[in-house]
């Protein structure tokens, strides 16, 4: 079972998930990074370029999912160093600091809410994320071409790529592809026919949509929708 709510941290989402079925739907690329609590461990989920399947024994997760491009500012680590990885927070922060946070969250009746409080504290202690990156996400999420978006933002291709690696973990073309996948999934889950979903979300045709979903999610779209949750 998965539940979520909007966070008090702008753009973030607070969530919890109990995985009881090893064949439950995978976690899909979404352009985001998460701070996680799982069975007594504090972890960071880096940006994904492929589906991640928790699997294994029944387990409970709590987390805060940061808006795309913001987590590296709060966590103090470039996103590309964590691409397609789940790492212990002790690999990123001093052990003594993480130990105190572990004790704090372990004592909380609501680990997800405690993670949110931690994220708010970090946001108050760090510079605000680059607003240019927020504009980049917004533009790409409407289907704007990467080159045109770079021109609108006043950035050269190399500079945009470098800043995207730091903020998102991959280049702007991969970010655009991930955002397009999420647009398509939202439409398909709402019952929009696959052919119409492809056109409305920016694919050349339904076959293009099918290929992209298979590559990023690891399974056909119909099977993916049937295993959501």
Q: Is the pLDDT confidence value at 229 over 50?
A: no
Distance (Å, rounded) from C-alpha 143 to C-alpha 145? Answer: 6
pLDDT of residue 57: 72
Mean pLDDT for all residues in the chain = 93
Contact call for residues 15 and 218 (beta carbons, < 8 A): no
Distance (Å, rounded) from C-alpha 226 to C-alpha 229? Answer: 9
**Centroid of chain to Cα 160:** 20
Instruction: Extract the runs of DSSP E, i.e. beta strands, from the chain.
Output: 2-6, 13-19, 33-38, 41-45, 59-66, 86-88
pLDDT of residue 53: 80
Helix axis angle for 194-201 and 206-217, nearest 10°, is 80
Are 163 and 217 contained in the same domain?
Answer: yes
Are 91 and 186 contained in the same domain?
Answer: no
Q: Residue 212 sits in which domain range?
A: 131-226
Are 120 and 135 contained in the same domain?
Answer: no
pTM: 0.92
Are 98 and 44 contained in the same domain?
Answer: yes
Are 147 and 119 contained in the same domain?
Answer: no
Are 74 and 178 contained in the same domain?
Answer: no
Whose CA is closest to 25, among 49, 54, 45? 54
pLDDT of residue 58: 74
Are 101 and 190 contained in the same domain?
Answer: no
Contact call for residues 26 and 19 (beta carbons, < 8 A): no
Q: What is the CA radius of gyration of the chain?
A: 18
Q: Dump pLDDT digits (tens) for 93-134.
A: 999 999 999 999 999 999 999 999 999 999 999 999 999 999
Distance (Å, rounded) from C-alpha 178 to C-alpha 168? Answer: 11
Percent of the chain with pLDDT over 90: 88
Of 125, 145, 177, which residue constitutes the final position of a domain? 125
- Mean pLDDT of the region 208-226: 93
Q: Dump pLDDT digits (tens) for 151-195.
A: 999 999 999 999 999 999 999 999 999 999 999 999 999 999 999
CATH number of the structural domain spanning residue 168: 1.10.10.60
- Mean pLDDT of the region 37-61: 89
- Mean pLDDT of the region 212-227: 90
């Amino acid at each position: 079972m998965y539940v979520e709510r909007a966070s008090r941290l702008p753009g973030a989402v607070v969530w919890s998930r109990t995985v009881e079925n090893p064949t439950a739907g995978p976690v899909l690329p979404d352009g985001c990074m998460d701070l996680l609590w799982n069975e007594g461990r504090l972890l960071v989920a880096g940006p994904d370029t492929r589906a991640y399947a928790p699997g294994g024994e029944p387990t409970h997760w709590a987390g805060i999912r940061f808006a795309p491009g913001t987590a590296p500012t709060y966590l103090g680590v470039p996103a590309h160093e964590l691409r397609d990885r789940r790492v212990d927070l002790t690999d990123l922060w001093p052990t003594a600091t993480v130990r105190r946070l572990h004790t704090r969250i372990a004592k909380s009746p609501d680990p997800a809410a405690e993670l949110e409080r931690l994220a708010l504290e970090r946001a108050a202690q760090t510079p605000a994320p680059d607003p240019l990156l927020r504009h980049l996400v917004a533009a790409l999420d409407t289907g704007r071409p990467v080159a045109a978006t770079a021109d609108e933002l006043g950035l050269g291709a190399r500079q945009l790529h470098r800043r995207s690696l730091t903020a998102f973990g991959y280049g702007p073309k991969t970010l655009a592809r991930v955002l397009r996948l999420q647009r398509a999934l939202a439409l398909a889950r709402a019952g929009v026919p696959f052919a119409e979903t492809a056109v409305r979300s920016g694919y050349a045709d339904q076959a293009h949509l099918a290929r992209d979903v298979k590559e990023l999610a690891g399974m056909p779209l119909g099977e993916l929708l049937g295993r959501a949750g």
